[in-house]
Amino acid sequence: MAIETFYDVMRRQGISRRSFLKFCSLTATTLGLSPAFVPKIAWAMENTPRTPVLWMHGLECTCCSESFIRSGNPLAKDVILSMISLDYDDTLMASAGFQAEACMEEAIAKYKGNYILAVEGNPPLNEDGMFCITGGKPFIEKLRHAAKHAKHVIAWGACASWGCVQAARPNPTRATPIHKVLDNPVIKVPGCPPIAEVMTGVITYMLTFGHPPELDRQGRPKMFYGQRNHDKCYRRAHFDAGEFVESWDDQGAREGYCLYKMGCKGPTTYNACSTIRWNGDTSWPVHSGHGCFGCSENGFWDKGSFYDRLTDIHAFGIDANANQIGGTAAAVVGGGVAAHAAVTAVVRARRNSKNKKQHDDHSGDNNA
Ligand code: SF4
Ligand code: SF4
């Protein structure tokens, strides 16, 4: 049986064509694309069969799934139930045990070479992989088996991308990031966890264009990991002015000064937290008074205390200037600041969507 398109599923769910086109328009904005791309997105959604996705879990804490299901724009339920065909996810699927494994084998055989393999967690390699057994086999076997026929492989979160805390020295299980054990190119979406809208944004892009977004040298989508949290931090003016929190709950903390001296790793962390923020645009760690500890960067778990001041960025001149006036540092660090259309657009789209929802709620408009 032919695989349904996203449009087929939306129509079956009673969504009007007008709402479908609105969705395409919102998707273009979310991805930082001009309105000229709306027809292309609509065409892809109407004509391309939904992409089968196999989502598997190695050594991890499931925080990536927890983050994903909270995506507000697009809603995770839209991505899971309509845009992709989630044929296997041992955490979310109803079946378990042998039935679940049979679903996976069936999906691999049916969609050979055409499915996305999304991986949460990593394989431990010590003692022949015995520290992570799923379906009666070491996870490494299951991972390699599914990756062999995958069209694309996504590494969700710091565990799959870099190793994360289970790979912390001395790493007794030899927990290993997936790009080191697979031959496939791996699209890394790091973070502990990654931001929900970044996860769904990457999938939406791939479904729309049929290929991954442009990646940086470390394999991360540039559209979401192209700038540092520091570049768009709302406390940046205090950094530039040399105004720092010196101890927790001092006057500077109450005034919302920069957290650099309290260990904030924003100046070396490439992520979209300061722009897209978390939990439906509610907040992010620096907003709640705690420094960024760099959870999207490789090795963050083994780099000493989260509260140690950065000492390895002398090239930017930050540490040398933090005790004096921040202006010089700002001039140098500020050179690296670049606005990024996609991230800004996600924020704008979500806020517009929120405003529109409030408007619709009030006007009682039902387009379905
Ligand atoms: S050091 Fe941290 S708190 Fe200060 S401006 Fe940069 S990201 Fe914001
Ligand atoms: S602010 Fe830093 S530590 Fe917190 S989620 Fe973002 S990248 Fe991770």
131 pLDDT exceeds 70? yes
Which architecture, in CATH terms, is 229-334? Irregular (4.10)
Domain map of the chain by residue range? 6-225, 229-334
**Ligand 2 touching residue 278 (CB < 6 A):** no
d(CA 81, CA 238): 44
Q: Sorting pLDDT into bands at 50, 70 and 90, what band is 44? A: confident
Residue with tokens 């720092």: 244
324 in Cβ contact with 1 (< 8 Å): no
Q: Which atom of ligand 2 is nearest to the CA of 266?
A: 2
Burial (CB count within 10 angstroms: exposed 0-12, middle 13-18, buried 19+), residue 241: middle
Longest dimension (CA), the chain: 69
What is the token pair recorded at 193? 């966890």
- The tens digit of pLDDT for each residue in 94-127 reads 888 889 999 999 999 999 999 999 999 999 999 9
- The tens digit of pLDDT for each residue in 212-227 reads 999 999 999 999 999 9
Residue 296 CA to ligand 2 centre (angstroms): 7
How many H helices and E strands in the chain? 16, 7
Give helix 196-209 / helix 17-30 axis angle, nearest 10°: 110
Question: With respect to CATH, is domain 6-225 assigned 3.30.365.10?
Answer: no
What is the token pair recorded at 131? 């520290």
User: Residue 114: what pLDDT?
Assistant: 93
Q: Which atom of ligand 1 is nearest to the CA of 260?
A: 1
Residue 248 CA to ligand 2 centre (angstroms): 19
Name every residue whose Cβ is closer than 8 Å to that of residue 246 and which is 6 or more positions away in sequence: 252, 261
Q: Sorting pLDDT into bands at 50, 70 and 90, what band is 84? A: confident
231 in Cβ contact with 336 (< 8 Å): yes
Residues 332-347: what's their mean pLDDT?
42
Residue 102 CA to ligand 1 centre (angstroms): 49
